[in-house]
Structure 1
Amino acid sequence: MKNLFNTFGILVTIFIFTSNSIAQVNSDYDKSTDFKKYKTVSFGGWEKESDKILNDFDKKRITDALTNEFNSRGIKLVDANGDATVTLYLVIKNKSNITAYTNFNGGLGYAGRWGFGRGIYGGVGSASTSLSENEYREGTIVIDLYDTAQKKLIWQGDMTTEVQEKSEKREKSIPKNIKKLMKRFPVDPIKK
């Protein structure tokens, strides 16, 4: 029984710590828009000073990943006056989670006329609980795509995930997460 509780506690702890890094993705778009007519996209910039949150390396990682995703769909990035304009908005929040791990220990007790044994009749047991707090940063990126001529929002995608502290991890996770977000884009990548 003790092993069952220990195994359960370990599984809960693993789930909590790994669930932080799972990206939550949402998107919405104008259903009346023919997205196949968009052949070029221009970068409209970062909204509300979001670019000041990131260093230049991470900004480039994000824009390069977006460029690759648009290119894979036959949409070319141009300097200005694209058929569509993409803007980016970023929010970073400091977060924490608390994990409680309880270890149950059974006890010996008097088991009636039959002598001592593990008992339901007043056996003394014990339990100890330990808490651990994990602090991390959570980032949300919002990608808005506008029809340039009509100045109308046609697609919005957002993703929330744990921000990786090490640049080597961000170098891998940013393109992977942008790819995951762009799977929600109404135009699929061109099959080669």
Structure 2
Amino acid sequence: MNIRASWPSVMLLCWALYGCTTIDVKTDFDPSADFSRFRTFAFVGLTDLNQGGVLNNSLTRKRLETILSRELSQKGLRQVGLEDHPDLLVHYWVGIKEKQRVESTGPTVGAYGWRGGYGWGAGYSGVTTYEYKEGTLITDLVEPVKNELVWRATMVANLEDTARENIVLVERAIAKAYKDYPPKPAAK
């Protein structure tokens, strides 16, 4: 088998496995917080940003909390109950917006011909409207004694067509958002 011929196939497969949805992630944190002292966390709540009922589905809540819990556990934190007085409280918001993207193509003009034949042609212009859903997930880590926000991650992406694809999208978003958690202490 020619390696050259298979290279585009490998690239296409990698692209398909990784997904083509861009995830916009922004994080912010309190630089004065001592993240080394945080060892435990507990979920305290959730908010449906646009009251669309997305969090009325207990499967959605469980999946989000499982993904968040797994990521925080990989960062050295342990999930406990509220009665165990956790070092961090986790609150998250979810929102879905219906959006539209309009693309227009302008008129085109072109020449063609070769070896004696020639001609001119005009193209047409058109407008295409795409409808899609944009999802937002915001996670807050709050220090409970002072009730102060120490970490916020905001993730925005265009949603996929199926629940399975969106679960993978959320996993990618949370991994990207928490890749630099805990933040490095400020140089003194």
Look up the match of 1:134.
130
Q: State the superposition RMSD in angstroms.
A: 2.7
Identify the match of residue 73 of structure 2 among 60, 64, 71.
71
- Summarize deviations over 1:82-140 as a string: whole Å, max 9, x none: 111010012211101122245734247xxxxxxx976xxxx854121232211111111
- Structure 2 counterpart of 1:181, which letter? A
- Summarize deviations over 1:56-87 as a string: whole Å, max 9, x none: 22222211111011110110011112111010
Look up the match of 2:4.
none
- Contact kept in structure 2, 1:65 and 1:175, CA below 8 Å: yes
Look up the match of 1:41.
41
Look up the match of 1:95.
99
Q: Take 2:78 and 2:145, find their aligned partners in 1: how far apart are those partners?
A: 17
Question: Percent identity over the alignment?
Answer: 25
Which stretch has the larger CA shift, 35-44 or 170-179? 170-179
| Residue correspondence of structure 1 range 20-35 to structure 2 within 5 A | 21-35=21-35
Look up the match of 2:7.
none
Secondary structure of the corresponding residue to residue 146 of structure 2: coil
Structure index of larger Rg? 1
- Contact kept in structure 1, 2:75 and 2:181, CA below 8 Å: no
The 1:51/1:67 distance shift into structure 2, 3 A limit, reads farther
Q: Take 2:46 and 2:71, find their aligned partners in 1: how far apart are those partners?
A: 18
Q: Take 1:184 and 1:97, find their aligned partners in 2: how far apart are those partners?
A: 32
Q: Take 2:100 and 2:180, find their aligned partners in 1: how far apart are those partners?
A: 29
- Summarize deviations over 1:13-71 as a string: whole Å, max 9, x none: xxxxx98x211110111101111110000101103676932322222221111101111
Q: Take 1:144 and 1:27, find their aligned partners in 2: how far apart are those partners?
A: 10
Look up the match of 2:53.
52
Q: Take 2:30 and 2:124, find their aligned partners in 1: how far apart are those partners?
A: 54
Identify the match of residue 159 of structure 2 among 156, 160, 163.
163
**TM-score where L is the length of structure 1:** 0.72
Secondary structure of the corresponding residue to residue 175 of structure 1: helix
- Contact kept in structure 1, 2:136 and 2:154, CA below 8 Å: yes
**TM-score where L is the length of structure 2:** 0.74
- Structure 2 counterpart of 1:45, which letter? G
Displaced runs of 4+ in structure 1, greater than 6 A? none
Gaps of 5+ in 1: 1-17, 109-115
Gaps of 5+ in 2: 1-18
Look up the match of 1:143.
139
